Structure 1
Amino acid sequence: MTVSTAIARLNAADPDFARHLDHLLSWESVSDDAVNQRVLDIIKAVRERGDAALVEFTQRFDGVDAKSIDDLILNRERLELALTRITPAQREALEKAANRVRIYHERQKQDSWQYTEADGTVLGQKVTPLDRAGLYVPGGKASYPSSVLMNAIPAKVAGVAEVVMVVPTPRGEVNELVLAAACIAGVDRVFTVGGAQAVAALAYGTESVPQVDKIVGPGNIYVATAKRHVFGQVGIDMIAGPSEILVVCDGQTDPDWIAMDLFSQAEHDEDAQAILVSPDAAFLDRVAASIDKLMPTMERAEIIEKSINGRGALIQVRDMQQAMDVANRIAPEHLELSVADPQAWLPHIRHAGAIFMGRHTSEALGDYCAGPNHVLPTSGTARFSSPLGVYDFQKRSSIIFCSEQGASELGHTASVLARGESLTAHARSAEYRILTQDKGN
């Protein structure tokens, strides 16, 4: 296979650097009118015809010869069977990864709390898990058992009573690793449906698919569009764009390591983005040479080449401080600090989905087994978003209990503010609770 790389070279000292960087980062994951209308039609059909629509769409889109919804349901025994069909090494790897993910996310659990004021008023917060979560998992060859662990385990740690997984099986192709991961992660129910129809079923429920409170998990443009449309009826995790990696390197890491780290995201798809930032121009040259050398050895060379040439870049900066500024401007999904003292630079990072510290910490470790979640904000949304976590599967309710004296004292304040907003009923409701001896105060 012949490949040719022509990765973009940018220099932060150039007067038009900001414009070139903005162009490089621009990404619009917007559905066209045809996709949007098709998704709306599918959602409408599922809402109106339930299981029958799911069976019909699965036959049409996935080529599955399903006679009824029963043919699209996998019970717990089938998930346990998958554990016996994978290799011992695969099972051990899944179980080790699951254990590490579980231990990490246990630390994220939030507990209810209360405090009592001097007059006996009690204020607090009640933390409650969602009743039911829906997990969308891509099927067929492009399937990711690691995503099952990353989505299902935080839900279970949060205390979600039921996790429902939907996974398409195109042309009847079942991925045993995905089912084994579902078994290990504690998934409760599995339906072999996919696409916008699966999202609609989770959001609105059918005769067989239970309605969930939140839908998480990656999918194609039809899945993403459907998630947009059902948001509000249910919660969603995020609308994810292509995968990204930004490596900040001081020039002292093996250039082959850095090239392969860039490849690790570029191989996801042609729109993935891989960027290297360094103050060492000669090091950028060495990494470019490593890219050319290693590219022909990659199984997914064509995809990597299109990603690297289309959206990748090698960026020269003045110094490490400017490298931090560029990193914060990009707000990447994955940020590798491949430097001598990453801890020293950590306080300078404000925006990143996950931060990989030091030369030996490849992003790939985070994808599979380090412990933190690999569901991360993309397309600059790390400026205001966080990785998927236990907190995404918990709700918080405010607790207010006023003592007689507390209600009387707060009533004066509420009355003034409510009358200032011309909401008389609010004011009088509060005033009714003011004690007689306090009314003149």
Structure 2
Amino acid sequence: MLNLRTLRTADADFDAQFQRVLHWSAETDAAIESRVAEILADVRARGDAAVLDYTARFDGLRAESLQALELTRGELKAAFDGLPAEQARALTQAAERVRRYHERQKQANGESWSYRDEDGTLLGQKVTPLDRVGIYVPGGKAAYPSSVLMNAIPAQVAGVGEIIMVVPTPVRGSVATGGTGGGGSSDKGERNELVLAAAYVAGVHRAFTIGGAQAVAALAYGTATVPRVDKITGPGNAYVASAKKHVFGQVGIDMIAGPSEILVLADGTTPPDWVAMDLFSQAEHDEMAQSILLCPDAGYIAQVREAIERLLPGMPRRDVIRASLEGRGALIQTKSMEEACEISNRIAPEHLEVSSSEPHRWEPLLRHAGAIFLGAYTSESLGDYCAGPNHVLPTSGTARFSSPLGVYDFQKRSSLIEVSEAGAQVLGPIAATLAYGEGLQAHAQAAEFRLKR
């Protein structure tokens, strides 16, 4: 019997129980923070040599130079050409959908604009792409080609000049693959051909088989071989997350991601098996992932619970799913769908499924979510792989103030101001008055010098 908690908003202690379900600390273990700081400092000081040392120590992958750990464009193409036809077709179709979505996104809010006042003053905004970005892709057994598409394609659509990918390819038995480490190997490590093929399809310019905090440091500070980037995006383990946090300011980062989340807001019209499997879809990521169902129908909640119990034994990752559901999952009976929407806004989930026969009735009430999946046929997994919108989403309630990864993350904006002679006569006195009020005489006089006497 699965020990999955059921809560009722009508209960007097609901808020206290609810907060216990939501609790998750983003604080990184102090030992990890200290080790990451050491690695970053070492890579900054010794560059390529430090990256090679850590790659041998943690990934068991030895190389004479960092150039030997760079994947050529030919190797990426060979990986794509070697895929089974069905995989190649799926990868290409997914990439095309992701690209098409982000091209629309660029058209909507990623273009420069300007206008002129009545006096001829020009005001506007110049949008330009970043020069160079780095994308981190987990490697070895945890290989995610979809993450390559979701990070590289919006960068490419934005017009980024150079996209650098880092992906660890640990040797079996190394620290990164759960072994004891040490020794190293001249082997290429565990390369995932689908990841390399995705890099080819997504237009990655350069790729290195390095990972961990040392890869983040190489991208942030630059080495003799790895060029310094302007921004680093992509998921990773606790060491990668800590490293991204440490280098923020030297470079931009996308976000510090917490455990994966799904919230299903159901009205009881979707087959219970579908909802149970959707809850599994996030719970199978890891033990800290969170899956929550909000529904006003107690009978339907009971049906979903029965489906969970029945389907769980057949899942290959059932132990992980069980730990996730028992640790951070919940089935919550609300008083109404309106209340379910209010609670959803409090949670601000990464993935929000509106599993309802009337999804567009409830969507206007939903303010905070990384991605909103409307209707019974819209499983979250479609968004992960091929629907088109980005699957790099804010977690842990940060959807209250942040957005999915997008074209805008790979662009920057410069204000354009061209003041005419007539405009200077209008703006000068305003600026001078405010500048004198702040005690900044040079500011004031710089504006007054341009006034007609």
* TM-score category, normalised to shorter length: over 0.9
* Distance across 1 between alignment mates of 2:397 and 2:247: 23
Are 1:105 and 2:102 matched, yes or no? yes
| Equivalent position of 1:439 in the other structure | none
CA contact (8 A) 2:392 2:404 kept: yes
Q: Which amino acid in the other structure matches residue 25 of structure 2?
A: E
Q: Give the deviation of 1:85 after TM superposition.
A: 2.1
Are 1:259 and 2:276 matched, yes or no? yes
2:288 pairs with 253, 271, 275, which one?
Answer: 271
| Equivalent position of 2:42 in the other structure | 45
Are 1:194 and 2:211 matched, yes or no? yes
Q: Secondary structure at the match of 1:397?
A: strand
Deviations, residues 104-144 of structure 1 (Å, cap 9, x unaligned)? 00011111111011111100000000001100000001110
Q: Secondary structure at the match of 2:74?
A: helix
| Equivalent position of 2:441 in the other structure | 424
2:425 pairs with 408, 416, 423, which one?
Answer: 408
Structure 1: 5+ residue runs without aligned partners? 437-441
Q: Give the deviation of 1:67 after TM superposition.
A: 2.1
1:185 pairs with 179, 197, 202, which one?
Answer: 202
* Distance across 2 between alignment mates of 1:116 and 1:386: 31
Q: Give the deviation of 1:76 after TM superposition.
A: 0.3
| Equivalent position of 2:330 in the other structure | 313
CA contact (8 A) 2:79 2:194 kept: yes
Are 1:56 and 2:53 matched, yes or no? yes
| Equivalent position of 1:248 in the other structure | 265
* Distance across 2 between alignment mates of 1:433 and 1:55: 59
What is the Cα-based RMSD across aligned positions, in Å? 0.7
CA contact (8 A) 1:405 1:435 kept: no
Q: Which amino acid in the other structure matches residue 328 of structure 1?
A: N
| Equivalent position of 1:324 in the other structure | 341
| Equivalent position of 2:119 in the other structure | 119
Deviations, residues 212-235 of structure 1 (Å, cap 9, x unaligned)? 000000000000000001001000
CA contact (8 A) 1:336 1:356 kept: yes
| Equivalent position of 2:68 in the other structure | 71
* Distance across 2 between alignment mates of 1:432 and 1:123: 21
Q: Secondary structure at the match of 2:105?
A: coil
| Equivalent position of 2:310 in the other structure | 293
CA contact (8 A) 1:246 1:334 kept: yes
| Equivalent position of 1:354 in the other structure | 371
Q: Which amino acid in the other structure matches residue 345 of structure 1?
A: W
| Segments ≥4 residues shifted beyond 6 Å | none
Deviations, residues 237-268 of structure 1 (Å, cap 9, x unaligned)? 00000000000111121111100000000000
* Distance across 2 between alignment mates of 1:211 and 1:163: 11
Q: Give the deviation of 1:424 after TM superposition.
A: 1.1
- Counterparts of 1:366-377 in structure 2, within 5 Å, are 366-377=383-394
CA contact (8 A) 2:94 2:387 kept: yes
* Distance across 2 between alignment mates of 1:250 and 1:118: 55
- Counterparts of 1:368-407 in structure 2, within 5 Å, are 368-407=385-424
Q: Which amino acid in the other structure matches residue 389 of structure 1?
A: G
Q: Which amino acid in the other structure matches residue 107 of structure 1?
A: R
> What is the aligned length?
433
Q: Secondary structure at the match of 2:128?
A: strand
* Distance across 1 between alignment mates of 2:126 and 2:451: 27
| Equivalent position of 2:155 in the other structure | 155
Q: Which amino acid in the other structure matches residue 43 of structure 2?
A: V
CA contact (8 A) 1:266 1:273 kept: yes
Q: Secondary structure at the match of 1:336?
A: strand
Q: Give the deviation of 1:71 after TM superposition.
A: 2.1
CA contact (8 A) 2:52 2:62 kept: no
Structure 1-normalised TM-score? 0.97
Q: Secondary structure at the match of 1:396?
A: strand
* Distance across 2 between alignment mates of 1:348 and 1:215: 34
Q: Secondary structure at the match of 1:165?
A: strand
* Distance across 2 between alignment mates of 1:27 and 1:71: 41
* Distance across 1 between alignment mates of 2:94 and 2:452: 60
Q: Secondary structure at the match of 2:327?
A: helix
Deviations, residues 317-370 of structure 1 (Å, cap 9, x unaligned)? 001101101111111000000001101111000001100000111000000000
Q: Give the deviation of 1:70 after TM superposition.
A: 2.2
Structure 2: 5+ residue runs without aligned partners? 172-188
2:77 pairs with 80, 91, 95, which one?
Answer: 80
Identity percentage of aligned residues: 63
| Equivalent position of 1:164 in the other structure | 164
* Distance across 2 between alignment mates of 1:303 and 1:37: 29
* Distance across 1 between alignment mates of 2:344 and 2:417: 43
